[in-house]
Structure 1
Amino acid sequence: MSSSEVVPQRCQWCSTDPIYQAYHDSEWGVPERDAQRLFEKLLLDGFQAGLSWITILKKRDRYREVYRGFDPQFMANQTDNDLLDLLEDTGIIRNRLKVKGARQNAQAWLRLSEQTDPGEWMWQFVGGEPLINHFTSISQVPVKTAEAEAMSKALKKAGFTFVGPTICYAFMQATGMVMDHTTDCFRYPALCGA
Structure 2
Amino acid sequence: MSAVPGPDGRPRCPWSLGHPLLLEYHDAEWGAPLRDDRVLFELLILEGFQAGLSWLTILKRREGFRQAFQGFAPQVVAGYSKADMERLMADAGIIRNRLKVEAAPVNARAFMKVQASHGSFADYFWGFVDGRPVVNAWKEMSQVPAVTPLAEKVSKDMKAKGFKFVGPVSVYAYLQSAGLVNDHLESCFRFAETTGKG
TM range (shorter): over 0.9
TM-superposed deviation, 1:40:
0.9
Structure 1 residue ranges without an equivalent (≥5)? none
Measured in 2, the distance between the counterparts of 1:172 and 1:112 equals: 17
Q: What are the superposed Cα offsets for residues 135-175 of structure 1, whole Å, 9 maximum, x if unpaired?
A: 00111011111111111011101100000111111001011
Name the counterpart of 1:113.
115
Matches within 5 A, 1:40-59: 40-59=42-61
TM-superposed deviation, 1:6:
4.4
Amino acid in structure 1 at the alignment position of 2:24: A
Name the counterpart of 2:20.
18
Measured in 2, the distance between the counterparts of 1:108 and 1:7 equals: 43
Aligned equivalent of 1:132, options 125, 131, 135: 135
Say yes or no: does 1:188 pair with 2:191: yes
Say yes or no: does 1:159 pair with 2:194: no
TM-superposed deviation, 1:16:
3.6
Structure with the higher helix share, 1 or 2: 2
Measured in 2, the distance between the counterparts of 1:175 and 1:81 equals: 32
Percent sequence identity is 45
Measured in 1, the distance between the counterparts of 2:44 and 2:163 equals: 10
Structure 2 residue ranges without an equivalent (≥5)? 1-6
TM-score with structure 1 setting the length: 0.94
Q: What are the superposed Cα offsets for residues 55-90 of structure 1, whole Å, 9 maximum, x if unpaired?
A: 101111111111111011111111112101211111
Name the counterpart of 1:97.
99
Stretches (4+) displaced over 3 A: none
SS of the residue 1:69 aligns to: helix
Measured in 1, the distance between the counterparts of 2:30 and 2:174 equals: 10
